[in-house]
Amino acid sequence: MKERRNKIKQVRIKQHVMMKTFTVIPKEGRIHQPLNHFDRKNTKTFPQRFMVNEVYWQRSDGPIFLYIGGEGPLSKYSLLYGHHVEMAERHEALLVALEHRFYGKSINPDGLETDQLRYLSSQQALADLAAFHHYISQRFDLSYKNTWISFGGSYAGALSAWLRGKFPHLIYGAVASSAPVHAQLDFSSYNRVVGRSLTNEAVGGSEKCLTEVREAFAAVEAALLMGNEIEVGRDFGCCESPVKAEDKIELVQSLAGVFMGTVQYNEEGLEFNVVELCDIMTNKSEAYKQEEPYDRLIKLMAMYQARVNAPCLDVSHEKLVLELNNTKVRSSYRPWVYQTCTEFGFYQTCEDDSCPFSHTINLQIETKLCSQLFDIPQYSLPLYIDFTNQYYGGKRPQTQRVLYVNGNIDPWTELSVTWNDTTVDDDSILLINGTAHCADMNQDKALDKPALHQARKEIERRVAKWLKMHHGTI
């Protein structure tokens, strides 16, 4: 879902950029980073991709806006489009971006082998960013007058906050959008928020919508338990019948994923938004009124497969494991699965009674991939996650000049900083009503919700304040 959202976003951005009177092509380069920043005896390096856009920069004392890459390839459009780019133009900033190690093109040929993935971590990524800061400072002859502000969304938003926390002498301020700074093994609250958002009338949900979704998934689970796998597989256009227990769970996860992704990326141009999804699940017109929720879910999935141009719904768990074990495919999700196993968890389970989907999506199933792919025992995961929270501070980070921005229908808000306490300053939290994951990072559009317009103004106010503070003008 995230990959499709990014592709759709790239097309939209490309169209926007092409409409400009002139198009700036960001300069691309490579910096050879240590494979292991924490072992000087290890002299191995890897080529890390970066990009630079100088078009807005006031060279003498203009600020540096650092866009942090996350768990995917870095796009040139990251320095051509977005709220941070709009702010860079107004504040005459140099725009720079760094691709995350082991994603995109920033990886050695054997980088996805399990023995190499041990060098993939957020700590190594922060050290990469610190080294990149030094490289850019030398290349552009920067001084203390050039204020560095970091920007990131989702996992990269957490990196933005952590970079400011661990390297406060390098980064003066940080914007952390939809940043899950709190690692959590059993992220059951994700689906609790999905269910709550499906009832939110402000975004097109209703209590009826949630009820219909619950009934539809209960019917799917009952049909599978009664041995009607072939019929269910035919109903939902599966590539093969979900006979094996693992395949049944893959089917339920695929169905749930459409609802989860719709809530997370509401109004981002994906296959559905909450309004359309709930309309399909609750429609009482002549065409629908005799149908059960199960039948409406079938229609919803048929529409989904048509819109993503999928000939059938692949629910083979064995095929998934084979794909994730392929160390040659650079577009694989293998690196991110590794990070969930060794640092974050983030497993979106459905064992909580508030979850509207199937209880078969449980922690045991979610963490099994760690042992299947990387020989990481499931019992060791809580130790890794505890370390992450102790190292960074979880929801109680000891940080100043970090702005945590979240939308209140985004499930990832549960793992971000959304309330003030003694560990953060009073000017550090922004919660946007009716918006979803990383919505604030997009360029301002006329049709955006008033709350989103206002949030972007507030983000820029904070950034402008930091710049003035650093120059001693306030």
> Is 410 labeled as catalytic in the residue annotation?
yes
Shared domain check, 360 and 272? yes
* Count of structural domains, the chain: 2
Residue 5 banded pLDDT, cuts 50, 70, 90: low
CA distances from 237 to 233, 254, 257, 304 (A): 6, 12, 16, 11
Residues facing 347 on adjacent strands: 186
CB 98 within 8 A of CB 72: no
CA–CA distance, 157 with 405 (Å, rounded to integer): 9
173 found inside a domain = yes
More confident residue, 270 or 341: 341
Shared domain check, 163 and 137? yes
- Within its chain, how far is the Cα of 205 from the centroid? 23
> Is 91 labeled as catalytic in the residue annotation?
no
Percentage, residues of the chain above pLDDT 90: 80
Residue 268 banded pLDDT, cuts 50, 70, 90: confident
391 found inside a domain = no
Q: The CATH number of the domain where 435 resides is what?
A: 3.40.50.1820
Q: Give 188-213 pLDDT, tens digit per residue.
A: 999 999 999 999 999 999 999 999 99
- Residue 176, phi then psi, degrees to nearest 5: -120, 100
Residue range 62-77: mean pLDDT, rounded: 95
> Is 110 labeled as catalytic in the residue annotation?
no
CA distances from 265 to 154, 259, 275, 399, 438 (A): 12, 10, 13, 28, 8
Domain that includes residue 77, residue range: 2-182+396-470
CA–CA distance, 339 with 297 (Å, rounded to integer): 33
pLDDT of residue 459 exceeding 70: yes
389 found inside a domain = no
Average predicted confidence (pLDDT) for the chain: 92
104 found inside a domain = yes
In the block, residue with structure tokens 């796009």: 75
Catalytic residue among 437, 440, 448, 470: 437
Last residue of a domain, one of 351, 383, 415: 383
Q: Give 402-426 pLDDT, tens digit per residue.
A: 999 999 999 999 999 998 654 555 5
Residue 9 banded pLDDT, cuts 50, 70, 90: low
CA–CA distance, 98 with 137 (Å, rounded to integer): 14
Catalytic residue among 128, 247, 410, 440: 410
Shared domain check, 116 and 47? yes
Catalytic residue among 75, 122, 154, 160: 154
Last residue of a domain, one of 325, 348, 383: 383
Q: The CATH number of the domain where 304 resides is what?
A: 1.20.120.980
Model-level pTM? Answer: 0.94
CB 50 within 8 A of CB 31: yes
Dig out the tokens for 179 from the structure.
Answer: 């940043």
Shared domain check, 462 and 341? no
